[in-house]
Amino acid sequence: MSVQSTTTTGLSRAGVSKRMLFFIGLVAAALAAPFFVYPLFLMKILCFVLFASAVNLVLGFAGLLSLGHAAFFGGAAYVAAHSAKVWGFPFELAILSAVAFSTLLGFVFGFLSIRRQGIYFAMITLALAQMIYFLAIQMPFTGGEDGITAVPRGRLFGVVDLGDSLTMYYVVLALVAFGLFVIWRTVHSPFGHVLAAIKENEARATSLGLQPNRYKLIAFTLSAALSGLAGALKAISFQVASLLDVTWHMSGEVVLMTLIGGMGTLIGPGIGAAFVVAMEHYLSTSGLPITFIIGVIFMVCVMLFRKGIYGELRAWYLRRAGRD
């Protein structure tokens, strides 16, 4: 027994240092990446990494399948683009107002949808998001099908010119890293443990005196805020806010990213987002039907790889480690 416990601590200590190494490697790669790959493409990946991780916060860690997150992502993109272009907000203020908008929207949507569970929750979030989509089509300021184009990137704190894509990349990287840090902290906090408890057994969590709906609402609002941050960053760095970002296809796609990468894991959604964005990028010039391919990947993932890329790899690794 004592032998076993020492090996476990030894393993976990080795695991921690490995994890540190992996983390340092990841940061180094992210810092060096724009010198090898087109920065705009990287920024797109980063925004979706944050978006998918935010969705995963409610889907993977609280067990709430939202099919309406495009409303936060695309809605915040519109707010950021409009406030930066028409009202002349500086970069920071445009991002902040967009996040404030998505937070508020997330609170309202969450308040309405958390009354119902499971499948109903998914349907309600979907319908609410569709309302935002129709509003985006009809409101004059969104520019309808064309969206808001030629959004100025502005200057960071009035000093640093963001017109340069390399500078913009590092700003996006810093903000996305901040968002991911918030998610990581949330998951490992007492709050995150309560969420996990609610996901595992809601009745028991209630019997322990917790109020599941309150926790779910906070998690949902936080997830909406971070999705809004991702959408706002995408709008400013690409200088466009488009109707595409509020469609239900977008809500579905981000769930797909989370699913492909690995639901309920911290880095899985990031891997999934990078995979899907890169795939779309390379397919877009091939003339193949992207929606069809994405749909098929979706079906294959659900049928065969429900744990996702990261989850399957980890399971394979653990199996191998167990056999040795």
* Least Å from the CB of residue 270 to another protein: 19
CB closer to another protein out of 22 and 134: 134
Closest distance between another protein and the C-beta of residue 252, in Å? 6
Q: Calculate helix-pair angle for 2-32, 165-188, nearest 10 degrees.
A: 160
Antiparallel, parallel or unpaired: β 160-161 and 155-156: antiparallel
CA angle 157–70–271, rounded 5-degree value: 80
Distance of closest approach, residue 291 Cβ to another protein, in angstroms = 3
The enclosing H or E element of 297 equals helix 290-304
Residue ranges that bind another protein, judged by CB under 8 A: 65, 67, 112, 115-116, 118-120, 122-124, 126-128, 130-131, 134-135, 137-138, 248-249, 252, 255-256, 259, 289-299, 301-303, 306
Count of Cβ atoms closer than 10 Å to residue 165 Cβ: 16
Smallest gap from residue 35 Cβ to another protein (A): 36
Question: Residue 55's Cα: distance from chain center in Å?
Answer: 5
- C-beta of 233 vs 294, nearer to another protein: 294
Q: Are 241 and 80 in contact (CB under 8 A)?
A: yes
d(CA 318, CA 209): 36
Beta carbon nearer to another protein, 127 or 156 = 127
Residue pair 219/57 in contact by the 8 Å Cβ criterion:
yes
Adjacent-strand bridge partners of 160? 156
Please tell me the distance from the alpha carbon of residue 228 to that of residue 220, in angstroms, as a whole number. Answer: 12
The nearest distance, CB 285 to another protein, in angstroms, is 15
* Minimum gap (Å) between residue 105 Cβ and another protein: 13
The whole-angstrom separation of Cα 113 and Cα 124 is 6
User: What's the token pair of residue 199?
Assistant: 């996901």
**127 versus 210: smaller Cβ distance to another protein:** 127
CB atoms under 10 Å from CB of 7, counted, come to 10
- The CB-of-226 to another protein minimum distance in angstroms stands at 21
Our CB check for another protein shows the closer of 61 and 91 to be 61
